[in-house]
Structure 1
Amino acid sequence: MQLPPELDFLAPFLVEPTEAYKYATWLLNDFDADVWEYSFEYKTPKELDWRVKLDDHSLLTEPKNKNLLLGFKYFLIANTRDSTGYQGETNDLGGQQLVRFTKACYILDYLLINGRRYQLAKYGLEGLTAGNLQEMLKTIAGHPSALETIYNWRESLRDFCVALALKVESDVITEILAAVPQLSVITEEQIADDELDIPNALIPQVRAALYYFDLYHIQASGRQPNTIKISQDIYKNTLWGLSSPKTLYGILSYNIDSATFIREYRRAPVTSSTSKTMQEGAYFSYRRAVYTLGVLHELWLPAPTVEALIKADQFSPQLASAGRFRTLPSEVVFKGLRQAIEFHLDYGKELTKAFCRVALECRKRGVSPTALTHADVQKLAGPKLYAFGVRKLGLSVKSASDGIHQNCIKGEKSEYFDSLRSNNGLYELIAIYIGCAQLTVGILTARRASELYGLNALECLDETELWLLFKNAKSTRHLFGLRRREARPIEPIAVDMIKTLIRMQKVLTRIGYIDKPQTLFAAPSLLGSATLIDSTADSYNRKLDLFCDYFETPLNANGERYYFRQHQMRRFFAMLFFYCGSFAKLDTLQWMLGHTDPTHVYRYITESTDGAILASAKAQVAAEELHQGNYENFKDLMQLLKEHYGTEKFTLISADDLEDQIMELMKEGWIEIEPEFFSDHQGKKFKIVARLKRSSEAA
C-alpha cells in the first residue's frame, strides 16, 4: 500500500512479519547469507556461520534443511525484538539486545549439541515436545552458568588440555620448558584458586602443549589461554560456542615479564548467593527465549506446538533465590570517601597535568610513552610528584630504562604493592586518582555502574555545572532502544573531580594524543601504550581495586579485602544522612546539598534514592547500631529480634546476619525505620528510630 507522505510513519506497521523479521540493527548483511556479519557496537564486526553440521552430517544450509535454517534465523532476530510486537527492537544495542541475542544463541547451540537425541535433522523444531523443552530448561537451570550446563566447559577444557599434552613428544615438552621456564612456575594464588582439577605436576606439560600449538595470547595480566581458539576445536558444530570467549582458569596462565596477580588479596564476596543452581532472573530470560519459538507459528514455519510452548513457559525447576549484595561496613566506605577527596585535593590536578606533559613530550618526539626513560618521567612529573615518590612511568611498563634481561616487570607481589604505596608509578597513581573520582561520584550520585562508566566527558555536566547528565540504564522501553537522558544534582566536590578529568581529556585532544574526548573515566594503559583506554565495566572495577589496595581497605575475618563495587555503594548516599546525624556532623551533608534544614535534606534523599536502596540503607544503619550496642532507639526492633535469636546480646551476632533479619521484618511490614526530627537549643536535629507497626498493618 502506498501511503501519503504525512502517514509515512505508519509504514513499518504494514510490513509482513516474514519481511519485518529479516532485519535487525545488529545484522549487517543479508538475511539469506550463509555467514552473518553482526555488531553490537563492536569496533570490529563478528560473524555467525550457519554452515554447521547436523546430527545426520548434513549442513544446516543445505536445501533439505531450509525450514530449520529459517526457523533458527527468525528465532534469533525475534529474540531481540520488543515483546509487544515485531516492529520495535528492544533496549540499547550493546545492552539488553546483546543479552537476548546471547541467550538465544545458547538455546540454538543446546539444540545443535543435542541434535542426535532430538533427531533435529529429521523432525526439525516441530519435533520438540513439551518434555524436550522442559528438559532443556531444567538442564540450563542446573548451574549458575550456562557455559557449564550447555557446553560443559570446565570438564571439556580439562579433557582437551590433558589430551593435547599427550599429543606432544616428551622431548619437545622438555625443550619448551627449558626455553620458557616461566611455564613451570605455579604460584600459591593459582593453586588456591584452581578449579580445573588437573594434577599440579601435569600443569607445566599442559602449558607447554598450549604454547606449542600457539594457544596463548597476551593480556594485561599475563599470557592466558585463548579460549576462542580452543573453543573452535572443541565446539566445531555450534553457532555461538565456537567463537565466544569462555571462563578463564588461572592455573593455565603464566607470564614472562610480569606477574599474573591483579589484586593484593582475595576479594571479599560481593553477593550473598552461594547456590549451585541458576537464579530466577537468569532462568526467566532463558524461558522467555524458548517461548519465542512461538513466533515461528506467525511465520508459518514448523515449530513446537502451542501446547508444548505453554507448558514450557509454565515450567519452574528448583532455582536459587536472588543473592543480596553484601554490605560494606559504613566506616570502610566513609573512610574511603574521605581518602578519595583528600587525594583529589592534594594531587588530582598535579597528576592529570603530569600525564598531559608526558603525552605532549611523546607527541613532540613521535614515540610511545615506553620510550621515555625514568629520568624523563621524573622531570615531566615535576618536583611535587617527585617528592611524593614518582620514579617511573608505571610499575607494569617495560620502559627504555629497564634492562633487556629484566625477567619480571612487576616483581613479586609484596614488592609491587610496596612500590604502589610508595607512589613509584605515575600511571598507577593516575588510575588511583580516577578511582577516587569514581568512588566519590558513585557514592554522591547513587547511580548504577553502567550509567557511570558510560558517562561522556563532554556531555556529563550541564552548562551550570550543577547537574550530572547520564543515560538511565533502565529507561529504554518504548523509546526505540534509546536510553532516556536524565539529570540529577551533583555536589561541588564531585563536580571539581569531573572537571579535572574533562580538562585532562581536552588537553590530550588539543595536542593530538587522542582524537576526541572519550568516556569520563578513561585512563592510560598500565602497560604504557600510547592510548587512553575507554571506561568499561572491567576497567572501572580495576581502578576501584587499585584504590582499595593503595589505601589498604580492611580485611574481613577470612583475610579477604573489601574491594568496592558500585552496586554496594549506591546505598551510601542515603547512609551519609543517617551517619552524619548519628555523629552530629549533619552540617557537612547540609553544605554538600545546599540545605540548612535536615527535613529538607531527607526529602531530597527520599526523592533521589531508589526505594529498595533506601530500605537497605536503613537496615544497615540499624544493624550496625545494634551490633555496636547502641540500643536506645531500637527497643521494639530488639524485642522482635530477641524472639528470632533468643538473645539481647546483639554484639555477638554479625552485622550481616542482623541486617538480613531486619530487612525481612521490614519487608513483612513488622517494623519501620525512619528519622525522627526534633528541635532543641542548637536547632533542628534528628535521631533514627525503629517503630513497631500495628498488627493490622503488618497483616
Structure 2
Amino acid sequence: MVASKKNVYPFNTDTTGYQLDDADEIQAILEHARDSVLPFSGEYKASWLLNDFESPIWYTTKRGKGSIIDGKGVETDNITWNVTLPNGNNLCDDRYRILLDNIKKTSFLFRNGIITGKVIGNRRWHDVTGSLLVLAKFLVLYEDRYLPHKYGFNLLDQQGLNQFSINYSKGGITFALELPQRALLLFYQSAFNSECPLEVYSAIPNIDEELCKSIYLKLRETNLMRPLKSGEFKGALVFDLQRISSILNCDKESMSSERMRAFLRQFEIELKESELLVKYNIKSDYHGHRTPLLTDALNNPSNENSLVAITGHFEVLLFAHRHLPETSPNPCYLSINTARKAAMKYTKIDGRTPLLPIDIGLSYMNGAMKLVYKYGENLIDLYLEFLDKSYKPSKIKDINIEASIMRKNRLLFNRLSRLEKYRDLCIELNLSYPHTSTSKTKNKNTSEEYDLFSCLGDVMAASAILIAIMKPSRDDEIINLKRDCLYHELGGGYYLKLYLGKSNVGEAYEEVIKPIPYITAKSIELLQKLGNGIDIIMGTDTSDTLFYAPLSGLTNVGRVSKGVLNTKLDNLGDKLKIRLDEHKRRWYVRVHEMRKFFLILLFWHGRFNVLDAARDIAGHVDAEHIYRYVEANFPRTDLCAFEADFAIHCLSSQDRYDDFTHVDDSFEALRELVCKHFGVSSLEFIHQNEWEQYVRDLRNEDGFYLKPHSIQCETDDGQLVSFEISLIFGEAIYNAK
C-alpha cells in the first residue's frame, strides 16, 4: 500500500467533484505517475508497518497478517535495526542517525513500491534490506574514507563498490566484511603479543599448519577457547564464538557462517582430524549430506548468481537517490555492471543443488507411505486419547494426581498401550515411552526404543514428504497450507488448494487448486484429524494452519515452523536408516529436493510429452522454466540425446508432423538441412541410420537445440496456455544457411 502524501506537486491529482466512473482508478494512475518522476515527500507510514518508523525493530505484516501483543510482534516479519557495527558502535546510536535514516527510508520506499514502481514481496524486501545493512557495515569498516555518520552512503565510490564486490566474490559476506582478517589479527596478537606479519596475513584463508598449531597451543590457555560440554566431540577445545564476536564487533551468526567456521577450524586442532566441516553438536545420528569437506568450505568462492543478487540489491540505493539525494550515492558516478565485471572472475560457475539420488528418494517415499497408510491413523488416535486424559486430570482414574508429570504420563501411556486397539501398534513400532530425551531415543549404538512424541513427528514428516513428492511444492507452500486445503469431488479425485510461493504481488499470493493422488490426500486427512483433535481438547482454534502438532513435548503444541519440520525430516531419515555416502554422511531430505526429484523423474519418463504437464504441476507460467530445471540436472550427453531423439521422431513422421501439435515450422528447416547435406530432395532416399546419426552429431556439436516455451492468452473461459517446442539453429549452422 502506498503511504499517504500531501498534495504539494505542481499538478493536481484530486478528482473530487468530477463525475468519472473510474475516478479512483484514474487517481491511482496519476499518483503512480507522480511517484515515478518526483521525490517522495509523504509520511513514512503504511499498513504493513505495525509500529513506529523510528523503532529499533520493525514489526511488519506477513502474508497480510500480523499484530503486536504486549509490545511484541505476533506472526510478523521483523527487521532489527540495532545491529553492532565493526567499530563497536550501534547503528541506532545518535552518531549514525543519518546512516540509519537512509537505510530505513530506502527500505520503506522499496517495500512500498515507490522506488521500483511495483509492490515488493517480503522475501525480496528482507534480502535487499539485509544487503543494505551489510554495505553499511562495510562503510563503517572504512569510516575515515566514507564518513557514513555524516553522509550516509553518499560518498560510496566505484573503487569501494568494486572492492566490496571482489571481496564478496572470494568468500561471501564473511570476506566482504574481512572477518577472517580481523580474527587472525586478534589470534596472532593474543598468542604472540605482536602484530601479524604481512606474509601470514596475505595467505588468508589458508594458514600454515604449524602456525595454526602454535596459535592453538597459546590460545587454549585464554578465554578465547572453551571445551565442548556435550556431543560427539565432548571435551574438545573450540573457539568461544560469543566472546570472539563481541571482541570483533560482529554478530554471532556471522562467526557461525560456513566460510568462517572453516577458517576457524584450522586452529581447532582437536577437530581437524575430520575431513568434513563437522558441527559441534548435531541432533541427528550422522552429519547431513550438505556438510561440506573442510577444504571445499575453506576455498570455495561465491557463485555467480549470489554476486549478481547482492549487487542487484545495491541498485535500489541508486534508485533511491531521487528521493534521498543527500545520503544516497549518485547513480551518475557508480556502475553496478563495472563492479560485477571486476568481481566475476573470482566467482565459481553456478551449480545447482545436487539431485536426490533415486534410491534414496524412493526409500523416503516408500517409508512415508508405510507410516501414513499402516500406522498414521492409530498413532494419532493414541496421541489424542493420551492428550485428552493428560490435559484433563479428572478423566484419569487410579493415578495419583499429586505424582510428578513425568510419572503420570508414563503410567497413563503404559495403560493406553495395553489396550487392544493400540497393543499391536506399540509392539510393531517398539513404543516404550510417551516422551523421552533425544539421547535415549536416538542413540545409534543402543537398542532402538521409540516414544510417542518422535513417532508422531515421523507421521508429520512422512505427510510432508507425500505432499511434496506427489504434488511438487516449495517450503513456504507446505508450511502455509490451510487446514481446509483438501477437496474431494464425489465420484472423482482429490484436489489440493494452496498459495503459490513465488507468484505473488507484495503480500498477495496466487491461489491454485491442483489434483493429488489418494495417498497424499490421506496424509492431509491425518494432519486435519490431528489439528482438529487438539483444538477440541484444548479449546483452541487453529483452523488456519494444517501443520499443528506437539513441539517440545506431548502437551506443548503449536504451529510447525520450517525449522521444526526439517528436524522431523532428519529424525525420519534416521528411522528409515537412509544409506550413508563415502564420507559417512546421511542424506536428510528437504522439501525443495523432493520437488525437484519428482519433476526430473517425470521428465525422464515422459520426456517432452510431459513437459507442459510438469509446468502446470509445478505452478510455473512458462514451460521454459521447467526446462531450465532439466538442463541444470541432466548430464549434457543425455540432454543432447533426448533432444536429438525428439527431432528425429518429428522428422520421421510420414504425415509431416501432423501428430506433433507442439512443434513449429523450424523442424521443416532441419529437414531441409539434412536433405541438403546428403544431396537429396527427401529423407526417403537416405538410409535411416545415416541421417539419424547426422542429426545426433549436429546436436552434439551444438548445431541446433530445442527451446520449449508457453504462449498465454486470455479467453472467456479464463487463461489459455499454448505449449510449443521450437528448434533453434546454432550460430555456425545459421550463418552457413
TM-score over 0.5 for the pair: yes
Paired AA for residue 432 in structure 2: R
Does the residue aligned with 1:116 lie in a helix, a strand or coil? Answer: helix
Partner of 2:322: 297
Out of 259, 284, 288, which is 1:263 matched to?
Answer: 284
Q: Secondary structure at the match of 2:454?
A: helix
1:428–1:445 distance in 2 versus 1, CA, 3 Å: same
The residue number in structure 1 matching 2:16 is 4
Output aligned runs, 1:221-370, within 5 Å.
Answer: 233-234=246-247, 241=251, 247=257, 260-269=281-290, 276-294=300-318, 295-310=320-335, 315-316=340-341, 317-318=343-344, 319-365=347-393, 370=406
Distance 1:70 1:377, change over 3 A: same
Match of residue 445, structure 2, among 414, 418, 421: 414
Letter of the 1:387 counterpart: I
2:45 is the counterpart of 1:23 = yes
Q: Is the 8 A contact 2:284 2:571 kept in 1?
A: yes
**1:228/1:244 contact within 8 Å kept:** no
Aligned letter for 1:534?
Answer: R
Identity %: 17
Q: Give 1:469 deviation, angstroms.
A: 1.4
Instruction: Kindly provide the amino acid, as one letter, of the partner of residue 106 in structure 2.
Output: F
Q: What is the CA deviation profile of residues 428-451 of structure 1, one whole-angstrom value per residue up to 9, with x for unaligned ones?
A: 111111111111111111122221
Counterpart position of 1:644: none
1:13-52 equivalent positions in 2, closer than 5 A: 13=32, 17-20=39-42, 22-24=44-46, 27-31=49-53, 33=54, 35-39=56-60, 41=62, 44-45=72-73, 48=80
Q: CA deviation at 1:390?
A: 0.6
- Structure 1 residue 547: Cα displacement: 1.8
- Alpha-carbon deviation of 1:618? 8.8
TM-score with structure 2 length normalisation? 0.63
Match of 1:89 among 114, 119, 134: 119
Which segment drifts farther, 152-161 or 110-119? Answer: 152-161
Letter of the 2:574 counterpart: D
SS of 1:473's equivalent? Answer: strand
- Deviation sequence 1:315-363 (CA, Å, 0-9, x none): 3312222221212222332233122212211101011111211221221
In structure 2, the residue matched to 1:500 is: 526
Compared with structure 1, are the counterparts of its residues 74 and 261 closer, same or farther at alpha carbon in structure 2 (3 Å cutoff)? closer
* Aligned residue among 380, 384, 392 for 2:424: 384
**Cα distance change, pair 23–136 in 1 and its aligned pair in 2 (3 A):** farther
Q: Which residue number in structure 2 is paired with residue 107 of structure 1?
A: 135
Indicate how the Cα distance of structure 1 residues 311 and 694 shifts in structure 2: closer, same or farther if over 3 A, else same. closer
Counterpart amino acid of 2:16?
A: P
Report the counterpart of residue 643 of structure 1 in structure 2.
none
Query: Offset of 1:107 from its aligned partner?
Result: 1.7
The TM-score normalised by the length of structure 1 is: 0.66
Residue of structure 2 in register with 1:374 after alignment: 410
Deviations, residues 182-225 of structure 1 (Å, cap 9, x unaligned): xxxxxxxxxxxxx99984997797599799xxxx999xx9xxx9
Shift in alpha-carbon separation, 1:544–1:161, aligned structure 2, 3 A: farther
Match of 1:150 in 2: 177
The aligned counterpart of 2:460 is: 434
- Matched length: 571
Asked if 2 retains the 8 angstrom alpha-carbon contact of 1:570 and 1:613, the reply is no
Change (3 A) 1:503 1:556: same
**In 2, Cα distance between the equivalents of 1:85 and 1:693?**
34
Q: Is the 8 A contact 1:103 1:285 kept in 2?
A: no
Question: For the residues of structure 1 that align with 2:368 and 2:462, how far apart are their CA atoms?
Answer: 5
Asked whether 1:425 is paired with 2:426, we answer no
Task: Deviation per CA, 1:534-577: give whole Å up to 9, x if none.
Answer: 33332222222222211112222333222222222224434555
Q: Counterpart in 2 of 1:178?
A: none
Q: Which runs of 5+ in 2 are unaligned?
A: 1-6, 8-13, 194-211, 269-279, 395-400, 640-644, 649-695, 709-726
Root-mean-square deviation (CA, aligned residues, Å) is 5.4
- Do the aligned partners of 1:391 and 1:425 also contact (CA within 8 Å) in 2? yes
Provide the C-alpha distance between the structure 1 equivalents of 2:566 and 2:535, rounded to a whole number of angstroms: 25
Q: Is residue 435 of structure 2 the alignment partner of residue 394 of structure 1?
A: yes
The equivalent of 1:189 in structure 2 is none
Give distance in 2, aligned partners of 1:98 and 1:542. 24
Cα distance change on mapping 1:432 and 1:50 into 2, 3 Å: closer
Do the aligned partners of 2:466 and 2:520 also contact (CA within 8 Å) in 1?
yes
1:386-407 Cα offsets, whole Å, 9 max, x none, are 222111023426xxxxxxxxxx
What pairs up with 1:139-178 in 2 under 5 angstroms?
Answer: 139-143=167-171, 145-150=172-177, 152=179, 156=183
The letter for the 1-side match of 2:310 is Y
Q: Which runs of 5+ in 1 are unaligned?
A: 167-194, 253-258, 398-407, 583-597, 627-632, 637-661, 675-691
The structure with the larger Rg is 2
In the alignment, the residues of structure 1 paired with residue 378 and residue 541 of structure 2 have an alpha-carbon distance, to the nearest angstrom, of 23
Q: In structure 2, what residue type is equivalent to 1:114? A: Y
Worse overlay, 273-282 or 376-385: 273-282
Cα deviations across residues 613-661 of structure 1 (Å, max 9, x unaligned)?
A: 56756997889999xxxxxx99x9xxxxxxxxxxxxxxxxxxxxxxxxx
Between 1 and 2, higher relative CO (CA 8 Å, sep ≥ 6) is seen in 1
Q: Hey, what does 2:161 align to over in structure 1?
A: 133
Find the aligned partners of 1:77 and 1:351 in 2 and give their Cα distance: 48
Contact 1:393–1:427 (CA under 8 A) maintained in structure 2: yes
Separation in structure 2 between the aligned mates of residue 497 and residue 150 of structure 1, nearest angstrom: 46
